[in-house]
Amino acid sequence: MEDRPLKGIREGKSSDEELSVHVCEVLDQLGYSQTMVKHRRESWREGAAKWNEKGQNPTVIIAGSKGEGLTPPNESDTDRMFQDNYTVCRIPEDDSLTLPDTHYEFTMDREHCHPGHFRLELKHTGTSENSNIQQALFVHEDGRTFISSEKYTISQIKDKTKETISGPALKEYNELYIWDHVHAFPCTSQQQLLSEWINRPRHHNWPTPDMIAEVSKLQAQMVPVGCKSSEHKDIEWRVCFIPGEQRLTDSWNENHFKIYILLKWINNSHLKPICDEISSYILKNIMLWYTEQNPAKIFTKKNLLQNVFSCLKNLQEAIQASNHLPYYMIPARNLLSGRVSPEQQQQLIAKLEELIQEGPCTILRCPKVEAARQMSSVKLAEKGCWRDKLEKLGLQRWRIWETYWRPGMKQEEIGQLARGNPHYIRVEEKMNDMVWPQWRDNEGGEIRADKLNKKIKDALS
């Protein structure tokens, strides 16, 4: 039987259920199989765990889609959180922990702050030296000492030519990767902050009681960014629950995370040109709510596209409802606050309605799916195996590179040390052979390196 391009069966000749199953299979070949998600997740977290095992400051957390295993290395930024081990934040009512003199202690002041945001009042100056904290402290007119989120982030900048501020993060890049580095403080009051989340009624047993208990014990983080619509955003800090949310997304099966992946692709293709503030994090919250509020039986391959469009409808309703989307962990916090202008609101509502009415063809126009449509099933499977092998090598190379990382080091320094490792060179050469077999016979130096990096980046984006 002739191995024809997959295009024909995706143009209305099959039912939505058959198309859903087919899109699931295509996603597997594009690097989003359960096996690759698990491998990715373990690889990224292993690198952070090896650093943290040394007991040094700071603690490193791989956050975002990399920590969740849901994106290839070059598809999006790598979110890396640096948590200061000599600082603790807690609500005034929480006196469950006695701190050593080495630690800075801040209490979380809710007054005049939007839900999920706090001013951090200094209660104890640690004996451990921390110039970044000292630079960001200020005395309020009432005599109390607070720490400015804006000044704290600025104090972390080491190279103004290669670092820019984006929300709570410092964005840094080299020829292959883009990093978002967030410098955060641990928060030990997660159980009090999550009391509503812990106790709210759930009708579909997700998250399970055991999962809820586990999440409630995982430390929260305070990140240096205020609410966009706040007059005092430069001094506010936001609470987040990175390990807890990772535990929740870890429990998703492949049908859950494939819905989320398709939502992100639709967002990138159709919504971001209208409003760049509809982030992956907003879509993840749509998906977390959707998982909690629906029975597990609907999350099947056959229902993939139906679930995607149900989530798009939920996003549309949130934008219509005066731009109000409750944060999954603290519902009083509105994730859309100050993010969407009235003009953008109307455009987003209209675009979402258009996409929902269009139905499955929306998915087919996503660039990665559209490219896969042009390939035969055999060629797509072959390319899928090839890219998975390349990505595994890339992750192996990254784990070696990460062993040379130290706080404050420049990317060039780390790269120079890594290239002194014979194993790193062997892995890199295997990747080069895969993307450009003739690379040794072509021009040397920076031109060849740039071509190789571009080919690897394109393959793993």
**Residue extent(s) of CATH 1.10.1410.40 domains in the chain:** 7-21+252-359
Instruction: Please give the biggest Cα pair distance in the chain.
Output: 81
Of the candidates 339, 65, 356, 55, the one whose C-alpha atom is nearest the C-alpha of residue 225 is 339
Q: Where are the alpha helices (DSSP H) in 58-183?
A: 64-68, 131-136, 149-155
**Sign of the CA dihedral 338, 344, 350, 356?**
negative
366-390 core/surface letters (b: 16 or more CB in 10 A; e: else): bebbeebbebebeebeebbeebbeb
CATH topology of domain 7-21+252-359: Poly(a)-polymerase, middle domain (1.10.1410)
**Residue extent(s) of CATH 3.30.460 domains in the chain:** 53-247
Instruction: State the pTM of this model.
Output: 0.93
Q: What is the pLDDT of residue 206?
A: 98
Of the candidates 382, 320, 374, the one whose C-alpha atom is nearest the C-alpha of residue 351 is 320
Q: Could you report the average pLDDT of every consecutive run of 10 residues in the chain (461 residues)?
A: 44 73 95 97 92 91 95 90 96 84 95 95 94 96 96 90 85 79 96 97 97 98 94 94 98 97 96 95 98 98 96 97 96 95 97 95 90 92 97 94 84 89 96 95 80 93 89
- Do 90 and 108 touch, CB atoms closer than 8 A? yes
The H or E element containing residue 196 is: helix 195-199
Alpha-carbon span 94 to 99, nearest angstrom: 12
- Do 46 and 66 touch, CB atoms closer than 8 A? no
Q: Is the domain 53-247 a CATH 3.30.460 member? A: yes
